[in-house]
Each structure stands twice: as structure tokens, then as C-alpha cells.
Copies of this chain bind each other. A is one copy, B any other.
Amino acid sequence: MQLARVIGDVIATRKDENLHGMKLLVLQPITADGSPAGRTLVAVDSAGAGIGETVFFVRGKEASFPFYPTEVPTDAGIVGIVDRWDLG
């Protein structure tokens, strides 16, 4: 999983039926020191995240696990909202 900031959202009326009703958020991945790292991406959300929050997300088929038995065609999903992280 990676840390990310939620920086926007996507409006798409024509999309796969299993994506209907899903919030599509734009994420900027960040590293453990808080700096941007890598390309922005679009993720579904099962954690109730909003723009401006720091989250962690999962890539791959695992991103669809929270929506079973619906087979959501996504490869990125927010699975938690970060309170804080500590470097030891």
C-alpha cells in the first residue's frame, strides 16, 4: 500500500455499470517523508475519504475486495484514512 493525498475527483457519466455510484478520487502518492512520489491516479473509496485527506490505498485486484460480491473493475482503492505515521 502507499500513502497518498486526495487531490481531486473525476466525473464520468458513461462508465462500467459496476462503477456506478462509486466515488472516483484523484490521488497523489507520497513517500514517508510526505513528498509527492509518482504519478497521480484515480481510485475508488471504501473508507469515506474526502479531498485534502491523507490516505493509504491498495493497487491491483485487492482494490475490489471491499465491494464483494460485486466485481468492481478497479485497480486502485482507498482502504484507510491516515491519522498519522511515525518513523522509528
Contacts and interface: CB of A to CB of B under 8 A. Distances in A.
Interface of A: 1-3, 6-16, 18-19, 24, 26, 28-29, 31-32, 37-43, 46-48, 51-52, 56, 58-66, 68, 71-77, 79-88
A65 to B, nearest CB: 4
Give the number of times this chain occurs in the complex, counting copies. 5
A84 B47 CA distance: 23
Contact of A12 (B12, B26, B52, B80): B80
Given A41-B2, A61-B62, A71-B65, A82 B12 contact: yes
A80 B15 contact: yes
A62 B16 CA distance: 12
Contacts of A14: 47-48, 80-81
